[in-house]
Amino acid sequence: MNTQLTQHQTEIRSNLRAWQNKPLLRGIYSGFYRRIMGLLDPKLAGRIVEIGSGVGNLKSHLPQSISTDLFPNPWLDAVCDGYELPFVNGSLSHLILFDVFHHLRAPNAFLGEARRVLTRQGRLILFEPYISWSSFPVYALFHHEPVAWQAAINFAESLPRPRDYYAAQGNATRLFFRHQTRDWPSGWSLVHTEAFAGFSYLFSGGFSKPAFYPARLLPGIERLDRALSRWPGLFGARCLVALQPL
């Protein structure tokens, strides 16, 4: 097995254990998946495909979706790279990426491929970390992936193989909320951008750390999150973005 595959499978095994043993995590993700499902357009014809499905949890809420990932696992429907999708032109109604966009070194190269496979008015839905004053230290200190807040972003229209591992947790915030690159992404309309507080998520310890609060407190902390979401620049921790090709 190559190094990337070995690392992925080690992470997948540990994520699966966390998912099975941590009802708190499942409760938090149910809320996240409901937000994503609220952005699906039922009038669109075509299949729904998830890219970078990992342990494949979205499918428990969206059984009709096609689960895919770069690396093989028995629960996936297909193995594929987001830069080279095995779908015919205009055949998909929705593409969903949950915590995957910040692993795409060349977002424009991916957007070109997404445009090819999506039907007219099809939707690309991204769920990502959101960097705010309060979430920055948590993502920077307690998560193994870099925030890469100042790093250059590669805007090339293609990304040749071999493609190495890449992570930049701050990319969605920088590109879709702070608009650090003017008029980007060209040829797409942003139909939804929403950043919201996620203390329920941050203090849950996610997949890799122990929880700082018991599952029975989740409804109360989610209420607090809803109230604090009025100030995403201070308290935001997660974001949801939907785009349509023009």
Ligand X SMILES: C[S@@+](CC[C@H](N)C(=O)[O-])C[C@H]1O[C@@H](n2cnc3c(N)ncnc32)[C@H](O)[C@@H]1O
Region from 80-88, 185-193, 195-203, 238-246 binding ligand X, contact rule CB under 6 A: 80-88
* Binding test (CB under 6 A) with ligand X, winner from 33, 98, 130, 196: 98
- Alpha-carbon gap, residue 170 to 235, rounded angstroms: 15
Report the alpha-carbon angle 90-95-96, nearest 5. Answer: 180
Stretch of 45-53, 111-119, 135-143, 223-231 lying at the interface with ligand X (CB under 6 A): 45-53
Torsions phi, psi for 96 (to 5 deg): -120, 130
Written as six digits, the tokens of 104 are 């795409």
Shortest distance (Å) from residue 233 CB to ligand X: 24
Distance CA 127, CA 197 (A): 13
Is position 99 an interface residue for ligand X (rule: CB under 6 A)?
A: yes
Instruction: Output the smallest distance, CB 82 to ligand X, in A.
Output: 3
CB closer to ligand X, 68 vs 132: 68
Which residue number, 40 or 217, has a Cβ lying nearer to ligand X? Answer: 40
Per CB under 6 A, does 53 bind ligand X?
yes
Distance CA 67, CA 59 (A): 7
Long-range contacts of 132-139 (CB under 8 A, 24+ apart): 132/173, 132/195, 132/232, 132/233, 132/234, 132/235, 132/236, 132/237, 133/233, 133/234, 133/235, 134/234, 134/235, 134/236, 134/237, 135/198, 135/202, 135/235, 135/236, 135/237, 138/202, 138/237, 139/169, 139/170
Residue of 199, 210, 203 lying closest to 238 (CA atoms):
199
For ligand X, the closer of residues 16 and 217 by Cβ is 16
168 binds ligand X (CB under 6 A): no
Q: Which stretch binds ligand X (CB under 6 A): 63-71, 128-136, 175-183, 184-192?
A: 63-71
Contact stretch for ligand X (CB under 6 A) within 50-58, 116-124, 179-187, 234-242:
50-58
- Which of 52, 129, 185, 245 is close enough to bind ligand X by CB under 6 A? 52
Q: Which is nearer to ligand X, 32 or 176 (CB)?
A: 32
Which 1-40 residues touch ligand X, going by CB under 6 A?
Answer: 8
Residues that bind ligand X (CB under 6 A): 8, 51-55, 69-71, 81-83, 98-100, 103
